[in-house]
Amino acid sequence: MTTDMNNSLYELPTESPRFVGQQVRRIEDPALVSGSVEFIDNVTLPGMLHAAILRCPHPHARIVSIDTTAARQLPGVVAVLTGEDVKRWCNPVVTAPEGWGAYCLAVDKARFVGEPVMAIAATDRYIAEDACELVEVEYEVLPAVPDAPAAIAADSPLLFENQNSNVMLQRVYDWGEVEPLFERADHIVRETFRWNRVGANPMETFGCISQWNLADNSLTCRGSYQTPSFMVLGRSASLNLPSNKVRIIAHPHGGSFGGKGGPRGTDISALLSRKAGGRPVKYIEDRAEYLLAGGGQSWDRYYEAALAVMADGTVTGLKVKLLDDQGAGAEGYGTISVAKPLAAFTGPYRIQAAQYDLTVVATNRAPTFAYRGYGPPPHNLVLETLMDSAARELGIDSAEIRRRNYIQPEQFPYTIPSGNEYDSGNYPEVLARALQMADYEALRAQQQTARDEGRYLGIGVVSTVEPGVFDWNAYRTAGVQGVGVPEGARVNFDMLGQVTVTVGFALEGQGQYTVAAQVVADYFGLEMDAVRVVCASSDAAPPHFGPGGSRVGVALTGAVLGACHKIAEKFRRVGAVLLQCEPDDLELAGGAVRMRERPEAQLGLADLAGTMLARSDLLPPDMDPHPGATHVWTPPGRTEPDEQGRCKSYLTAANATHVVLVEVDPDTGVTEILKYVIVDDCGTRLNPANVEGQVQGGVAQGVGAALLEQYVYTEDGQPLVSTFADYLMPTLHEVPITQKGAVVTPSPFTPLGAKGCGEGSIHITPAAVICAINDALQPLGVKVRETPASPSRIWNLIREAGT
């Protein structure tokens, strides 16, 4: 495996790993299936109170007065928090771009339905909610900005009075000579799209227990935190605390997908604890709160896009114009999702030049947050639909037009117009495998037969590049600073030779602790269940970011391998003393340090660790006697963005092709997925079962976005979604059982050659399904240009077309 990091630091000292690359069972699972994992709502602390939050019922309203008298008198109520307290003690949250953040409770005015207005801590949650009902709030309703087009209208009300418009960000990126390419094009294909809001909806909502220590003015928060270090910085800024006085203890959580939320709930419970004399305060968001105002809304977009195509099907240029609705401010870092597409703007294709015309606005909808994929799913729907439109216009098969435009295997590493570098891949091979597995020609024949019978079958063949291992530099467009995202791991042997790996992030489902155990077990020749993996609190953990942007499998592997390597060096030094040779005469193999020339002369790892900790008299005088090490890994070779946002950002580029067959019933508008084939290439598969789980889970979320899910708002900005009866999550009935295949092109840039693989499926499944639906609807002369392609939407399209 070649590597430009070029050192054995990132290799295993074994030719035949027993665990890495194998479909091993996850070390996380026995506790999870037994119901003994400490999810945050299972935790009770002595003296703990429970918070409930009163939320604004209007999209935009000035708060005239709040009367909490009756609530305070309810037995069991201990603390009451309003905007007045918050204004005195806090700052609005830091945002990117700057200046679009709110306080944790509405101060003076509220900007969306569900915005917290006041909060109560009581001896139990039932009482806290009773007390909220006794609070009287007088509102002066303000004119609302219900959607993005309204936000840029000339007479639009202002969301943030510190800004002079509702536009958070507006600029045009030009990468290469786009206009001349469009002038020279034989065909220009244009489309418009509306992508409606969807979001993460992990099965566990956000929860935390905050405790303000009044003696030293420090804060400890336990909770379902995806990114503890980020939470520390945010709380420090919003609560005016030194960052070393904020301690986050992340608990295992029930999924996250970027959209767990948490800053407001944490700040509110922290301040309630402060007001309650330092008693711990638990806040568990309920599902209605999550759906209305939690971290679960993302990607609210209007697109106009065009593709320049030559007569032979060569695609030369891409223009994308995006109007993006962030909702009531940038507190959820949803802005980053307009920046991420830069990392794979032109997908797997050799498109020479591109333009991105970007307008990001604030409205009176709930603030948007990260969601798995973080922006590319709608972008890829646009790109892939344009590819299909071009194919149709030129009379080329939809698989063939993609094949003709792929970046070729020998062109890697390949720099795309928007600046990112793809590490490696074999796109034609992935497509070929997918078409073969799907028996593509037979599918086309089946489609034709069905058409002859008056049935509407459609086929989607779409390809994607999934940028993996995110870097902050990818998000400069949104105002984010920084290059590099460090991830650390500490690997310690104890005196008896038992190993503990300490990381800074909690379990949330992707099986990363298993990956750490696989790597350590193979490195030191141990059994996997001899390796314990634990999460330290933010103040005790090595530098970390945790999961996000399909990074942690790769980053954690790098961190763990680096730490193992440092320990192996120490073991060789100790071994050299005990075996009376030079460290270079020794190697680590099969769970022992042994002489290269005389393998029977060996020392077990427990002996070495025990010697280091209990026989200092035997050690070299300058030796650090710790049989452990910390290593902090960061992606190599990342660069500062230029004025057009171009940089080496995401480290890896995984690739996939999805082939899907659907049938649309024109009488009901219902889409049924009949066949779904996926071939993906995410380099070395550290644990193939984990990869398949990520792929299939992403398909489910993608099918949800394509067919079912939508945060519906009325024309006046009122949300209509507050239960799972309104927000339709896909079930076993809707998610297709998929056939999966793999091509393996290792990354030359990562530890063990693995690529980020957590988001590829959601990147492309919506496009695959919608392209298939449009292929089915072609004889009817209609086309879906808005998600989700719900039965009513399709039925209306068909009716309007009068066919």
Partner 1 sequence: MTTRHQISVTVNGVNYQREVDARLTLADFVRHDLSLGGTHVGCEHGVCGACTILVNGASMRSCLMLAVQADGAELTTVEGLSRNGELHPVQQAFIDRHGLQCGFCTPGFLISTAELLQGNPNPSDDEIADALGGHLCRCTGYQSILESVQLAAQMMREGTIVDAASPAEA
Residues found near ligand FES in the complex (CB under 6 A): 203, 254-255, 509
Residue with tokens 């793809």: 422
Which CB sits closer to partner 1, 106 or 707? 707
Which CB sits closer to ligand FES, 35 or 395? 35
Residue 147 and residue 363 in contact, taking contact as beta carbons nearer than 8 Å = yes
Residue 37 touches which member of ligand FES, partner 1, none, C-beta under 5-8 Å by kind = partner 1
Indicate which single residue of 6, 8, 42, 616 sits in contact with partner 1 (rule: CB under 8 A).
Answer: 42
- In the sheet that holds 671-681, the strands lie side by side as 456-468, 652-664, 671-681, 739-742
Residue 731 touches which member of partner 1, ligand FES, none, C-beta under 5-8 Å by kind = partner 1
Residue 771 and residue 398 in contact, taking contact as beta carbons nearer than 8 Å = yes
Asked if 701 interacts with partner 1 (CB under 8 A), we say yes
Q: Containing H/E element for 642? A: none
Q: What are phi and psi of 286, to 5 degrees?
A: -95, 170
Asked if 253 interacts with partner 1 (CB under 8 A), we say yes
Which CB sits closer to ligand FES, 254 or 627? 254
Angle value at C-alpha 320, between 157 and 366, nearest 5 degrees: 35
Is 324 in a helix, a strand, or coil? Answer: strand
Asked if 614 interacts with partner 1 (CB under 8 A), we say no
The first and second tokens of residue 680, run together, are 């993906």
The first and second tokens of residue 682, run together, are 């995410």
Which CB sits closer to ligand FES, 196 or 201? 201
> Is beta strand 786-787 parallel, antiparallel or unpaired with respect to 187-195?
parallel
Beta strands in 162-227 (DSSP E): 167-175, 187-195, 207-213, 218-223
687: nearest Cα among 530, 793, 557, 592: 557
State the minimum distance, in angstroms, from the CB of residue 174 to partner 1: 39
Which CB sits closer to ligand FES, 204 or 331? 204
**In angstroms, rounded to a whole number, what is the distance separating the alpha carbons of residues 324 and 168?**
10
Give the binding range for partner 1 (CB under 8 A) out of 299-307, 319-327, 508-516, 589-597. Answer: 508-516
State the minimum distance, in angstroms, from the CB of residue 733 to partner 1: 5
Residue 715, classified by CB atoms within 10 Å of its CB into exposed (0-12), middle (13-18) or buried (19+), is exposed
Asked if 34 interacts with partner 1 (CB under 8 A), we say yes
Asked if 283 interacts with partner 1 (CB under 8 A), we say no
Q: Which of residues 187-206 bind partner 1 (CB under 8 A)?
A: 200-205
Indicate which single residue of 226, 738, 750, 787 sits in contact with partner 1 (rule: CB under 8 A).
Answer: 738
**In angstroms, rounded to a whole number, what is the distance separating the alpha carbons of residues 204 and 252?**
10
Which CB sits closer to ligand FES, 367 or 373? 373
Give the binding range for partner 1 (CB under 8 A) out of 280-288, 430-438, 466-474, 476-484. Answer: 280-288
Is 488 in a helix, a strand, or coil? Answer: strand
Is 517 in a helix, a strand, or coil? Answer: helix
Which CB sits closer to ligand FES, 527 or 724? 724
The type of residue at 325 is: D
Q: Which of residues 488-507 bind partner 1 (CB under 8 A)?
A: 507
- In the sheet that holds 116-122, the strands lie side by side as 77-82, 116-122, 49-55, 281-284, 207-213, 218-223, 246-250
Which CB sits closer to ligand FES, 21 or 509? 509
State the minimum distance, in angstroms, from the CB of residue 508 to ligand FES: 9
Indicate which single residue of 267, 466, 487, 508 sits in contact with partner 1 (rule: CB under 8 A).
Answer: 508
Asked if 55 interacts with partner 1 (CB under 8 A), we say no
Residue 496 touches which member of ligand FES, partner 1, none, C-beta under 5-8 Å by kind = none
Query: Does the CA dihedral 91-93-96-101 come out positive or negative?
Result: negative
The first and second tokens of residue 619, run together, are 């050690």
Residue 362 touches which member of ligand FES, partner 1, none, C-beta under 5-8 Å by kind = none
Give the binding range for partner 1 (CB under 8 A) out of 168-176, 436-444, 608-616, 693-701. Answer: 693-701
Indicate which single residue of 525, 610, 693, 791 sits in contact with partner 1 (rule: CB under 8 A).
Answer: 693
Residue 247 and residue 539 in contact, taking contact as beta carbons nearer than 8 Å = yes
- Count CA within 13 A, CB hemisphere, residue 509: 18
State the minimum distance, in angstroms, from the CB of residue 24 to ligand FES: 18
State the minimum distance, in angstroms, from the CB of residue 207 to partner 1: 10
Buried b (16+ CB within 10 A) or exposed e, 269-289: bbbbbbbbeebbbbbbbebbb
State the minimum distance, in angstroms, from the CB of residue 12 to partner 1: 16
> Is beta strand 218-223 parallel, antiparallel or unpaired with respect to 49-55?
unpaired
Which CB sits closer to partner 1, 39 or 795? 39
Residue 243 and residue 233 in contact, taking contact as beta carbons nearer than 8 Å = yes
Asked if 697 interacts with partner 1 (CB under 8 A), we say yes
Which CB sits closer to ligand FES, 156 or 256? 256
Residue 93 and residue 239 in contact, taking contact as beta carbons nearer than 8 Å = no
State the minimum distance, in angstroms, from the CB of residue 278 to partner 1: 23
Instruction: Summarize the chain as % helix, strand, coil (round to 5).
Output: 35, 25, 45
Asked if 101 interacts with partner 1 (CB under 8 A), we say no
Residue 723 and residue 197 in contact, taking contact as beta carbons nearer than 8 Å = no
Give the binding range for partner 1 (CB under 8 A) out of 17-25, 302-310, 630-638, 742-750. Answer: 17-25
Residue 26 touches which member of partner 1, ligand FES, none, C-beta under 5-8 Å by kind = partner 1
Where along the sequence are the contacts to partner 1 (CB under 8 A)?
A: 18-19, 22-26, 28-30, 32-39, 41-42, 44, 126, 130, 200-205, 252-257, 286-288, 507-511, 528, 689-690, 692-693, 696-701, 723-725, 729, 731-733, 735, 737-738
